[in-house]
Amino acid sequence: MSGAKPSSAGVLRVAVDCPLRTLLDYLPPPGQRAQDLPAGARVRVPFGARSAVGVIVAHAPGSLLAGNRLRAIAALLDPEPLLDAALLELLQWTASYYHHPPGEVIAAALPVALRDGHSALAQEEWLEITAAGVTASQDGEPRRAPRQRELLLLLAGLPTGISAAQLELQAPLWRPAARALAKRGWSALTVRAAGESAQLAPLATPAASPRRTALAAAPDLSAAQLQALEAIDAAAGRYGAFLLQGATGSGKTEVYLRAVARCLERGANALVLVPEIGLTPQLLERFRARLPVRMAVLHSALSDGERLSAWRDARAGRARVVIGTRSAVFAPIPQLGLITVDEEHDSSYKQQEGGCRYSARDLAVRRAQQAAVPVVLGSATPALESLQNVQLGRYHQLPLPRRADQALAPRLALIDLRAHAVHQGLAGPVTQAIARHLAADGQVLVYLNRRGYAPTLLCTSCGWIAPCSACDARLTVHREAAQLRCHWCGATAPLPTRCGRCGFTVKPVGQGTERIAETLAAMFPDAPLLRLDRDTARGAADIEAVMNALLDGSARILVGTQMVTKGHHFPGVSLVAVINADQGLFSTDFRAAERLAQTIVQVAGRAGRGARAGEVLIQTEYPEHPLLQSLISGGYEAFAAGALTERAAARWPPFSRLALLRASARTAAEAMSFLRAARECAGDRPPVRLLGPVSAAMARRAGRHHAQLLVEHAGRGELQRFLDAWLELVERLPEARRVRWAIDVDPLDIQ
Ligand code: ADP
Ligand code: ZN
Ligand code: ZN
């Protein structure tokens, strides 16, 4: 009954998936008491003219809303809390720190099916591989039954199993094959109540197959690894933040594995965060081979069904290790004992577009604090923020020097583009080095952060440049696809042969990965070459195939974008060429230099084996630039020290805190007038520094004008207090309804 008076039983504060920045008050369902409805449970509530699913966040004695305006909850959907108190607190903290509507933050943390109000306890048929099945699949069994073989391989890739409903979609005729596999003891079909909290027996370590045995073997830890492990282990049961710093291959993952193993031995569960591109089959296989427990894998490419079952496994404690990308930081994990964040500097940890713009790295630290558990941040190139936290004594640094059996540090050298003949973007010394390394049986990695054939299509007669009609951007030439493409809005057009203005011939100017690959293929016709960028690789499987070709030697040259700088170590690669370092040197974004240094060090770190150090050549027109100089002579540490000094002088983070109010509208005038009004809301003497509004570096994108207002203060608390009060005013501006706007706290990209 809506319209009832608030009873002494009190009201429930509910987060509903909507853009409101507040929780909503509801009465308990008729005949029930508020205190009998647990926080963290979902409820169905009347919301305007419709009904919605929400999550009870808190109980309150009464409401500010007049009693007769309060409505009652229609139904309780979970008899037990779906989200435990700790996770609920983390989600609320996230909503408040990033100034995002709490209902949206909580909804985004739930699998889609649960957002819709489906039962969290539904029964389902579940098919999974057995330990014997894993061994059989690795031995190529069953040889004469292709249907069964196919299903076994599918299951081998899904060690936590798959629901019958999901299988129905992927392999409609799976049942007979599953029955046959079950007879051989290779798969098991069960009915399970998802959400049950009983611990299942851990998966037994599968019987030996040579590959598995190699993976399962734990190496003796180096002294530095042991020291790191002991430090992390000594913090068990309380909060401690550690920065595990070591080059690629120095053994960071080995330390995570051991720390997770110890956490499991104590009966606690672990959360392992990896960057978007770091979640490779190899990494999963390594974790599976070494940790004989159930794991839940969470990443953005899961289907709704897969995500739901992984989420339920995590929540029930059936999965003892949750391993995932950004949003896995919100995974429900009972008895959390440890969090690790690999490649903590990676920008994929920050949600950059749409929704709540949180940093999973920072939230991992927050979650560890709340749960009183250790958190390990690992990187070869830590974010300057993290290094400063070490200096301030907030993080404990655990350095991992190169191991004795590891490749020597690569030799970095700058190639002055002004001092050498340059053919199609490649300086003479670089081409010669490639020839030399190929002749010596080495492999070559060529990095260029620009996909496509050429960034510009130019008329050689009138100077016309092919523009995007919806953006302030030039169209990129994609020769293989015979298209012009806008890398900002995705617009495409057929590749013209004549100028759009005067009809003269046009030519592509500048280099993209496609063109560099073409040039190198012509120069070195005998060396098998592969390209890796978003045009050649659609998904994880494509990336994997390219990486494997480099690892097994069937490719000798790899040309690629950012994608080649992450993930794998390539022992056979002896030369790395960075085609253009200059994009990062003169950007208006204060983080551009840090990103460039990280990229160079990361890509350099992929190369080399044993005593053979990798050689790294960096093409630049500014070899005297202090950033490049410090990087060459003193490595990432020297660069970071210099960069931190510069940040301090300029009052950039981590020496100040930023928030960016972004707006976009059909016209520049609308976007700007909203931001100006927002600035006025702050009063004549705001307690923070306001910079702008200004148009974004790429102002017009997909037909909309983008602009921004930067908010800065030395202190986090002061900035937060200002945002609290200010955004309430901004939200009510009439101009706010004519634009799309969002607040980005701790923005990564401020161009
Ligand atoms: P990172 O995560 O820093 O890149 P990994 O932990 O992946 O480093 O180690 C790189 C390689 O070296 C792996 O094949 C790993 O098994 C091996 N390795 C790590 N630590 C040791 C050690 N102490 N002794 C021998 N090999 C090791
Ligand atoms: Zn022309
Ligand atoms: Zn465009």
42 pLDDT more than 60: yes
Q: Are strands 321-324 and 336-341 parallel, antiparallel or unpaired?
A: unpaired
Q: What is the pLDDT of residues 302-315, one digit of tens each?
A: 888 888 889 989 99
The rounded Å distance from CA 63 to ligand 1 centre is 57
Cβ atoms of residues 228 and 400 within 8 Å: yes
Cβ atoms of residues 136 and 100 within 8 Å: no
Quickly list H helices, 394-451: 428-439
Map residue 358 onto helix, strand or coil: coil
The rounded Å distance from CA 381 to ligand 2 centre is 46
**Ligand 3 ion: Cβ-proximal residues, 5 Å cutoff:** 468, 470-471, 486, 488-489, 491
Range in 72-86, 219-233, 235-249, 269-283 with the lowest mean pLDDT: 269-283
pLDDT given at position 9: 57
Structure tokens given for 636: 């990432």
Cβ atoms of residues 747 and 660 within 8 Å: yes
More confident of the two residues 124 and 711: 711
Instruction: Please tell me the total number of residues recorded for the chain in this structure.
Output: 751
Question: Ligand 1 pocket check: which of 229, 254, 376 to mutate, most ligand atoms within 8 Å of Cβ?
Answer: 254
Cβ atoms of residues 558 and 305 within 8 Å: no
Cβ atoms of residues 370 and 333 within 8 Å: no
Q: Which ligand ends up closest to the CA of 699?
A: 3
Over residues 576-585, mean pLDDT: 86
What is the position in ligand 1's atom list of the atom closest to the CA of 255?
6
Q: Write the residue with the smallest CA distance to atom 9 of ligand 1.
A: 251
200 pLDDT more than 70: no
The rounded Å distance from CA 468 to ligand 3 centre is 5
Cβ atoms of residues 577 and 519 within 8 Å: no
The rounded Å distance from CA 251 to ligand 1 centre is 4
The rounded Å distance from CA 472 to ligand 3 centre is 7
The rounded Å distance from CA 751 to ligand 3 centre is 17
Give the closest residue to 554 by CA, choosing from 521, 527, 516: 527
In whole angstroms, give the CA distance from residue 650 to residue 656.
9
- Would you state the CATH architecture of domain 657-745? 2-Layer Sandwich (3.30)
Q: Are strands 443-447 and 456-459 parallel, antiparallel or unpaired?
A: unpaired
Q: Choose which CATH entry (3.20.20.210, 3.40.50.300, 3.20.20.70, 3.40.50.10470) describes domain 411-452+512-647.
A: 3.40.50.300
Give the closest residue to 87 by CA, choosing from 52, 57, 42: 57
193 pLDDT more than 80: no
Range in 232-246, 403-417, 428-442 with the lowest mean pLDDT: 403-417
The rounded Å distance from CA 152 to ligand 3 centre is 45
What is the distance between the terminal CA atoms of the chain, rounded to a whole angstrom?
A: 52
**Ligand 2 ion: Cβ-proximal residues, 5 Å cutoff:** 459, 461-462, 464, 499, 501-502, 504
201 pLDDT more than 60: no
Quickly list H helices, 527-625: 540-551, 592-604
Q: E strands along 4-146, which residues?
A: 11-16, 24-27, 42-47, 50-60, 71-72, 75-76, 123-129
Residue 685 CB burial class (10 angstroms; 0-12, 13-18, ≥19): exposed
Structure tokens given for 167: 């299988």
Structure tokens given for 60: 């309150």
Phi first, then psi: give them for residue 679, nearest 5 degrees.
-65, -40
The rounded Å distance from CA 475 to ligand 3 centre is 7
Structure tokens given for 404: 């004795």
The rounded Å distance from CA 405 to ligand 1 centre is 10
195 pLDDT more than 50: no
In whole angstroms, give the CA distance from residue 370 to residue 242.
16
Residue 490 CB burial class (10 angstroms; 0-12, 13-18, ≥19): exposed
Range in 48-57, 188-197, 407-416 with the lowest mean pLDDT: 188-197
Q: Where are the domains of the chain?
A: 5-115, 123-200, 223-400, 411-452+512-647, 657-745
What is the position in ligand 1's atom list of the atom closest to the CA of 256?
6
In whole angstroms, give the CA distance from residue 16 to residue 13.
10
Q: Are strands 374-379 and 240-246 parallel, antiparallel or unpaired?
A: parallel
Cβ atoms of residues 727 and 99 within 8 Å: yes
Fold of 223-400: Rossmann fold (3.40.50)
In whole angstroms, give the CA distance from residue 424 to residue 413.
20
Band the pLDDT of 614: cuts 50, 70, 90: confident
pLDDT given at position 567: 65
Q: Which ligand ends up closest to the CA of 460?
A: 2
Domain pair 223-400 / 411-452+512-647, same fold? yes
Q: CA-based diameter of the chain, in Å?
A: 86
What is the position in ligand 1's atom list of the atom closest to the CA of 257?
6
Over residues 127-142, mean pLDDT: 89
Q: Which ligand ends up closest to the CA of 287?
A: 1
Give the closest residue to 356 by CA, choosing from 620, 114, 92: 92
Cβ atoms of residues 427 and 415 within 8 Å: yes
Question: Cβ–Cβ contacts within 10 Å for residue 468, how many?
Answer: 23
In whole angstroms, give the CA distance from residue 468 to residue 491.
8
Helix 146-156 with 174-183: angle, nearest 10 deg: 80
CATH superfamily membership of 5-115: PriA, 3(prime) DNA-binding domain (3.40.1440.60)
pLDDT given at position 199: 33
Q: Write the residue with the smallest CA distance to atom 18 of ligand 1.
A: 251
Q: Which ligand ends up closest to the CA of 704?
A: 3
Using CB distances shorter than 6 Å, the residues near ligand 1 are: 219-222, 225, 246, 248-254, 403, 405
Q: Which ligand ends up closest to the CA of 462?
A: 2
410 pLDDT more than 90: no
Q: What is the pLDDT of residues 707-748, one digit of tens each?
A: 999 999 999 999 999 999 999 999 999 999 999 999 999 999
Q: Write the residue with the smallest CA distance to atom 25 of ligand 1.
A: 219
Q: Which ligand ends up closest to the CA of 226?
A: 1
Helix 626-650 with 384-391: angle, nearest 10 deg: 60
Structure tokens given for 664: 């976009």
**Over pLDDT 90: what percentage of the chain?**
66
Q: State the Cα torsion 314-359-743-597 to the nearest 10°.
A: -150
Cβ atoms of residues 619 and 625 within 8 Å: no
Q: Write the residue with the smallest CA distance to atom 26 of ligand 1.
A: 219
pLDDT given at position 408: 75
Q: Write the residue with the smallest CA distance to atom 24 of ligand 1.
A: 219
pLDDT given at position 1: 40
The rounded Å distance from CA 218 to ligand 1 centre is 10
What is the position in ligand 1's atom list of the atom closest to the CA of 569?
4
In whole angstroms, give the CA distance from residue 385 to residue 39.
35
Cβ atoms of residues 141 and 132 within 8 Å: no
Residue with tokens 């998904």: 539
Question: Cβ–Cβ contacts within 10 Å for residue 570, how many?
Answer: 21
The rounded Å distance from CA 330 to ligand 3 centre is 34
In whole angstroms, give the CA distance from residue 583 to residue 562.
13
